[in-house]
Amino acid sequence: MISYLKRGKSAADVAEADGKVRQTVEELLADIERRGDAAVRELAEKFDGYAPENFQLSAEEIAAAIAKVSPDDIADIQFAQTQIRNFAEKQKECLSDLEIETQPGIILGHKNVPVNSVGCYVPGGKYPMVASAHMSVVTAKVAGVKRILASAPPHDGGPHPAIVAAMHMAGADEILVLGGVQAVGAMALGTETIDPVDMLIGPGNMFVAEAKRQLFGRVGIDLFAGPTETLIIADETVDAELCAVDLLGQAEHGPTSPAALLTNSKTLAEETMAEVERQLEFLPTAEIARQAWQDYGSVILCDDIDEMVKEADHLAYEHVQVMTADPDYFADNMTNYGALFLGPRTNVSFGDKVIGTNHTLPTKQAARYTGGLWVGKFMKTCTYQKILTDEASAMIGGYCSRLSALEGFAGHGEQANIRVRRYGGGNVEPYGVVAKR
């Protein structure tokens, strides 16, 4: 039986907070749609204290920002982007166009077509998320997106040099220094100076995530991503120090970032809780991590491995790190997760920054129905059909005529009937039904 040694906020408390965010975002987006650049500039000044004449960087401004980045940092960015690009290219190879002849003279197929334009949001509130530029822009470029607009908040009163470098090196066509709801709103809705995109990409805080949710339909989105979540699945084969480091390493993302330990060892659970408190005494980002752990942290005790699998699938967390005697058992049996990190030698941070898998992943149990960002998210699988012979057109037309009549669609039926008459020499009456032979 599952028991909680520590619980985070209740679902009701979380829902109340989400409701306040929802109303705020709705008002901000309406203002951006109504007043365009003027609203964006006011919001940028209010939230970031930064409102230049033009939020889009010129080629000279991009070059000046990149010049501030050390050669070592440039090399590390290049290494990370190479890993992400290599994996994305291999994923793209899994996507194949299709064309088959299903009946004599009838051709069906599909093509994988990249979307024309995307807006890639790179978070930069508490921390400049340089890696998010790799994850979104590199992957979009591999997919073949024609126009890639990237946006990140200002840092210390201007563009963050490393983020700009990462965006540019990844292949962004336009770079904005703009954050929060005003950034995703401007990219999705368009303003006098910012052309709208077809799709929004990237993680963000609760306001950015809610803005993407509200804009979905007006534009496409990758998935609901943020705030970040981490689930550590562990047994007695690992120690409390490692568990605590990995919990706090993700809790530092923000004060609303859930971090959970799922274990079948009460000893490990209790020792990890104590170790978390110990590490919070000297963790440089303890102010944020402590609040996240206090409000959203949980420790869950299960009877056995199978109960751990069942509970992990119920939680459907974004990051699931498995440190057990047999981590592959979880890979073979779990179905709901954003990404798995199998064994103690790897961890969520490797995935966040450099290893090659994408770090934009589903949160808030969205892993029940979607995976994370990958090349396929930028692709539309579009079908087509063609008929090569008169005989095939008349044959399929007869079936369509009768099936349309079954549903009461006279106009649909006539689309079939006219082809039976023209290509098959049939004598079906207008709005009649083709007799079955």
- pLDDT above 90: percentage of residues in the chain: 91
Question: Does residue 218 have a pLDDT over 90?
Answer: yes
Catalytic site residue from 241, 319, 412, 414: 319
Domains of the chain in sequence order: 32-97+114-222 (3.40.50.1980), 227-372 (3.40.50.1980), 389-424 (no CATH)
Catalytic site residue from 174, 318, 414, 429: 318
Whether the CB-CB separation of 253 and 129 falls below 8 Å is answered with: no
Q: Which residues make beta-bridge pairs with 177? A: 152
pLDDT of residue 95: 97
Write the pLDDT tens digit of every residue in 122-172.
Answer: 998 778 899 999 999 999 999 999 999 999 999 989 999 999 999 999 999
- Please state, in angstroms and rounded to a whole number, the distance separating the CA atoms of residues 334 and 351: 19
Helix 206-215 and helix 180-189, axial crossing angle in degrees, nearest 10: 20
- Please state, in angstroms and rounded to a whole number, the distance separating the CA atoms of residues 135 and 84: 7
Chain length of the chain: 437
In this prediction the pTM is 0.92
Instruction: Assess whether 61 carries a catalytic annotation.
Output: no
Instruction: Assess whether 319 carries a catalytic annotation.
Output: yes
